[in-house]
Structure 1
Amino acid sequence: MDSQLQDLTAVGVQQDTVIKSVIVGLYGVSGCGKTYHLNELRQDLGEADFAFYDGAAMIEAVLPGHLDDFKQLGEEDKAIWRQLAIENIGRECASEGKVGVVAGHYMFWDEDSEVGTTVFTRGDQEIYTHILYLDTPPDVVMKRRQNDTERNRPSVSVAHLRKWQQEEKNQLRQVCRSHGILFTVLTASSTLLETVYTLLSDFRHHTEQQNLYLAEKRLDEIIAASEGKVETVLVMDGDRTLGPMDTGALFWETCSISRMSGGDHPSSLNALFSSPLGYSYIAFRQAALLNEEIANDQDFNALCEEVTSAVTIYPEFLSLLRKIDGQEHVGAVVITCGLRLIWEKVLSAANLSGKVKVIGGGRLVDGFVVTPKVKEALVRRLKEVHGAYVFAFGDSPLDLPMLSEADQAIVVVGEENMRSKTMDKHLLNAINEGLQARQILLPNTASPRLDTAKLPPVELSSIKLIDSIICHRGRRHRPQVFHASDKAAVKLLTAPTRDAAISGPALREYHRQGGWYAAIELVAEILGLEEYKVPHVQGHKTSVHRLLHEKETMIVALMRGGEPMALGVNDAFPTASFLHVKNPADLKREQIHEQRNIILVDWVVNTGKSVMELVERIRHLNADIRIVVVAGVIQSQAVRQGEFAEALAYDPNLGLVALRLSKNKFAGKGGTDTGNRLYNTTHLD
């Protein structure tokens, strides 16, 4: 048998990688009823979509001998056969497209031994996706073991069985979190099988993609209720954003106090999210299963009511939300990673549930969980599918993807002892990558995050902020933003402009070439072309093309850095007029009143602030003129957040072209300033 074992082990190593399928372990101490419930499930659910396995039978199926031979092996050899058995189950279920349900063991533990023998293998860690633990009362287990004459199990005490169960639950929670396996404990009850049916159905269908689909569906339902009237949406996190408290922590504190005497308490969310799962989809799904354990053991609604009574919304947020209550074109939604029910109760208590809707999970019945990626995707959907302008409010690293995607990002900063301890580091990284955000101090005596230059302060009661929220914007259109970052020609054209050794006339020439290329490749796409006649060399007239309304086009060079590139644009459109501008006031009404197009040119656009000041000046002088901003490099966040991004989204006569988009947020100074490099004046700064 040893030689056969070696042969099969070698085959197992060489076999193709097991395709991950949904494999659910049915675990519990020996005698808890795993095999009995497995047979009930097989009978009730059938085997069209499910495959049911008894772990011992599967070992015997791959074993060349009998199960008695297996029992005589050493622990290392037993582990090999157990691993081959579970890998075989994984392959079988993957090839047949079925959900596997396996009755298995985590450890065996004789009462006269100080510790149990763990039989959970590396293969189990890799193959299982879910584990259901049957927490049958120890006295019931003891009686079943005593009455089971076929298996002749050794006699054990109730106290030992209780200790065995607790050790298995503790170890399985840790092992499952380390290997991305969803784990939950099921207590014995008259509805146990019904609970298992529900879980298996959920496990069979629920994926990260399905999760996002359901969250987006909920968002679509909320927006549809506005009958197309919503133009602006406030998206808010709940915990430590709308109020100073963390409802998740409050919930678990309440559970600890309310937990029935002698009961087993699942490990808290802090332990879960500090595990290798982090803040992943799997982690939030595991949190939902923890909440199910609580819900099945206690009155979940009553627990949420108790938590709600301890939650207050910041007065500043209450005032803002009441100001928008009568504004049909402004919507508000709380997107929370926490418990949906708690936040619905909090908003209802504040008489805001009619205006402010909640997107959240926390229970399997909710259908989905909210992760940082889901928050980000929902904000993106609000903008791209529903055409809304989004103000996002958040307080922690979990909110940064959402804040980065929003049109206006506002970080809520609470008292130091209440706020996220890790936010500063992650927030600074996000700002360095292009996030444009402001901060609100609640209360206003709280110390600011970072510094007010990087994260400017704003007050929720600010008239300017409130006006910017409740103003009418109309519907968002797809911004006219064109760039050629991936074009081979652009990579070659811009390479010398990034070389620190090149400056002066040589650098100006490369900028001029970049302007010419941007004009013929990109600007012409936005403004269009027109035909005109020229004499052909063969003596007749022929049709050629030029920029549409080229003679009524003005090229505006933003001084100093934009001039060389603007000259290149002028090379492409030679009949256009040319103007140097340093300040918005340099633009006069008489200069542009007869123009059809204005092309604003600057080599580098970081935040878009300078360009936006010129756009606003032009719009003051002429509300309908076509404006195209031309840049060599634009910071990518500038077209996603802030006033310039808003103008691109809502002004159909404004467009942008750039040779390349950059994630690098860098303001040049001295030797790194573009204007200084162009004109060899680095020594003057």
Structure 2
Amino acid sequence: MQAPYIPCLNGTGNHDLMSTNPTSANCPNSVIIGIYGLPGSGKSFLLNILKLGLSHADFSFYDGSQVIAAGTPGGLEAFQNLNEDDQERARGQAIRKIKQESFQSGKSALVAGHAMFWAEGEGVGQLVCTQADLDTYTHIIYLDVPARDIAEYRSSDQKRSRPAVSIAHLSKWQQEEKSQLRQLCRSHDILFTTITQRQISMDDMNTRLAQQRIDEFIMNGPERPETVLVFDADKTLAPQDSSELFWELASTSSAEADAKSPLKNLFSSRLHYSYTAFRQATLLCEEAIGDDEEYDDRCEKVALTIKMYSELLDLLHLASGQTHVRALVLTCGLRRVWEKVLKREGLATTVTVVGGGRLSDALVMTPALKAALVTQMLQVANQAIVVTGDKTLRSASMDEALTRSIGKAGFLPRQAVLPSNAAARLDASRLPLVQLTDQFFVDSIFIRRQSLHLLHATDRFAAKLLMTPTRDASVFGPALRDAHSQVGWYLATEFCTQILGVETYQVSHVQGHQTDGYRVLHEEKTLIVPLMRGGEPMALGINKALPLAMFLHAKNPSDVQYEHLQGRVTIFLVDSVINTGQSILEFVRHIRHLHASIRIIVVAGVIQAKSVSTSRVALEFSRFRRLSFIALRLSDNQFTGRGSTDTGHRLFNTVHLDQ
């Protein structure tokens, strides 16, 4: 979370709250920030979010009431029985203690406090912001939450007993509190500002909190992970749903209609699967089991009834023995339950669970938030696996959602059917099957990044001769296509044979007997795919060297279908020039989605060197096994042709279309 940036107290400069130097930026005192607002406006919740979002090396965090209770013999209950003078003295001691600790540590302090108490029916409120507070605070931030929302939160808060207060009184109380604080701050050189509910959107803060926990997961550890395994929990790691089991075990004296299935009734209400609904689910849990020890015991009982799929369990155990691979579980269910399940399997220290379930978790993992986090990860992921469970237990609406999503934004999932005798979703063309126990699949996850397999003829005399007509501006049309075809034939005979090997077959000798002939290994099981249109002439040259190979034109990755790869052992992707490599990467991803083990050979006349060495795309290429690159030459010059310099236009005499 980014720290707020606030003008300096004396108006002579700016003061960055991330600074821990009490005298930095001409500000003479430690930065002490008061967080005020009516009881029930969310001060404590905001403070907890800030604790998770800001550096503890730069900030310290205080709940004013807890500091007062700690400094009063007998705690908060004894404090409430003191007379007004003694209470003011205790408040003063508490804020001075905070100021002293802040000065000694050099940290900025964030303090949640109360400005005024006002019982409904009384003529005026009681201001409890003391002179010591005004002598200490450098900034005061006021949570300007609508009175209606505060009333709703106060009535649903099961952890604190709050007196019923009308919305009208809360609104009057709030206006008076803001008015007095604004005047007091101006007369004591304190910067004052209000923050609206829109600015402190719980949904937005919740997203930031989730993102921070993901970032911490990535950054912590002996080395930055090369591979991250991201799992859903309920009905994915196991067929059971932790929340359903939790409420099945719950016992309550409530006679309400939704007592047996509170979540089903909650999520079928107008709240649906919103942030508010999941926050309410947390409150229901707090209401049913307020004691943390009892909650922990209930989670333990639920965990004992959950049995993980053995295939996924094996993957997690494999990951636990690696430093370059990490596993993350994102759950809308109960975080504590899944931590206990993983602990039982010996994975407590190696698999991180991000989720909620209790107010103390702060985070509320909603389906929308989980989807956003997963979508963000999938943008850099090269494998997406849908776990298809027993048909009687899985979500029927997911088929429609998958049908809409497949192919969009590069989303090309495969499915793992667990248990193995369950029926598959959709069909193998739209959602291909993958075996999680397949060695090739396992290797694709746990293999470390490696140098790309690259062969090129840049410094060879043959390459110098072959490249000359391709660079000659006077050569175009059929003559240039012939030159590209020769390059394709040369690269196939010189380099493809090194990668694939050759096999013998019988030919009729000119002297009348049978003798051994040679051809590229598995030539008849090879597919040549020119990336249209610039790759076609070179691909035709490769086809001359492998005349038994299948030939398929493709403009987009989707032009290569599952049936095209059936029975194939090798696929050539052919283009005249590769600049960034992004187009080729999309083809490679698509092909790997359709076929996990087919050998892919990328052939080009010219490959820009960074695209297969130091670029982000090259890093992605390094994750794929059985992938090779062949080029007539490598170039350090990254140049996108246009008009008379565009290879495709020169090949097909369409230069005039790009003038």
**So what's the TM-score if we normalise by structure 1?**
0.46
**So what's the TM-score if we normalise by structure 2?**
0.47
